[in-house]
Chains A and B, each alone.
Chain A
Amino acid sequence: MLLLVGCYSNNCPLENTVTCNYGFYDSEGKAISYNDTITVTTLMPGYKTVYTYRKMGNKTVSKDAPDTALVNQGYSESVTQQRKDTILLNNLHGASSMKVPMSYFREMDTLVIAYRSITRKDTIKIQHSSYANVELPECGTYRFHTLQHIWSTDAAIDHIEISEPKVNYDGNINVKIFFNGVAIE
């Protein structure tokens, strides 16, 4: 009995977060590892107040809340309204794919991809539907998605397509990003 208890497993999925998988390909469809360093941010609804502190000879500090200690140290404070953008992936380098979470209750997600080697950014828009999923009650609930449409700009992206519309924890490539250029053998 103790052995049985010791060997018990609940068979819950290993992935506890459902993400949309993007595979990287060259313009001819060959899978590649993208050498540039990319950062992915998403546009959030609404704006947020940002407090920026500057002092000659020191690094600029940005905070979401006022910091009187920095003001007392001689920093100058400036208050601005910014979009509530959130970094989803930071400085991804040499990857052949990326996993990006999706919104639970919004129909459209907007991703902004920034590259280190080029100044222009690419914007990807994904229209999708979402629904709750329960594998087993002991595993809790997940949020699955079904991709409907996808669009992108063309700074570094040649074109983009949906390869597997069902976004779950199976780990399949859901979206193929075809970058400009052809990989050299």
Chain B
Amino acid sequence: MRTLVSASVLARHRGLYWTIFGGTVGAFVLAFLFPVYWMVVGAMKSPEELVRTPPTLVPSEWHPGTYRDAWGTMDLTTHLTNTVVQAAGAWVLQLVFCTLAAYALSRLRPAFGRVILGGILATLMVPASALLVPKYLTVVDLPLVHLNLLNSPWAIWLPAVANAFNLYLLKRFFDQLPAELLEAAEIDGAGAVRRLWHVVLPLSRPVLGVVSIFAVVAVWQDFLWPLLVFTDTNKSPISVALVQLSNDLPVSQLIAAMVIASVPMIALFLIFQRHIIAGIGAGSVKG
């Protein structure tokens, strides 16, 4: 594909190209990979070595046991389980309710559907931080039923469903599905549920994948909201636990815990990188 510099110019300046290429690779390694390396390796240095000046590039003694110690002191089993439960629930509920609502708005066209869609899109204009306090007060005392959701995963799960961005992504995708397929299914006597399950969903795997990744990553990375709704540290996800326990831990153990908290996200990225990169483009360029 033709870009800014043509292939013939590039062929004439081989040396310059490889210099720039090498420089860029070096800069990327230093800027993006080295900090991660420093974190992974820093956790395995002894406490004395960690504060040594000048620092060692490779640990002179390896202490991989720090990871085990950090797991124990920070009770990472509890916090990782909490995070997984919160992320999984948010994922399932968001997938079910956003898909149902998006399908209804896109294909069933109920009365006042446009008004409802407008109301949902309007929430995109409201910055999340502006709703922080009233949303917290709602969770503390749910209107009408007067339930307190503090320290319960429902405080993560239910607000996660109110995700206008993912709902709109799904709705736009459903809008573009071939109408004659759905009409044919309707003529064959398939009801709304069967049409959704047997026609729409099998065609929607790419968008469902993107929404799933967005849903899980959002919960795993969130900090302020879980900080507010989990006052009991034993219920809190890993991100909150890291900050709350960061001052009581030896530095090397804290760093080890940080690595452990990042591993699932990095693994997710390496496995689903194509979907994630496609999703970034879809989510923002196409609005």
Q: Do A and B interact with each other, yes or no?
A: no
Task: Give A residues with C-beta under 8 Å from B.
Answer: none
Task: Give B residues with C-beta under 8 Å from A.
Answer: none
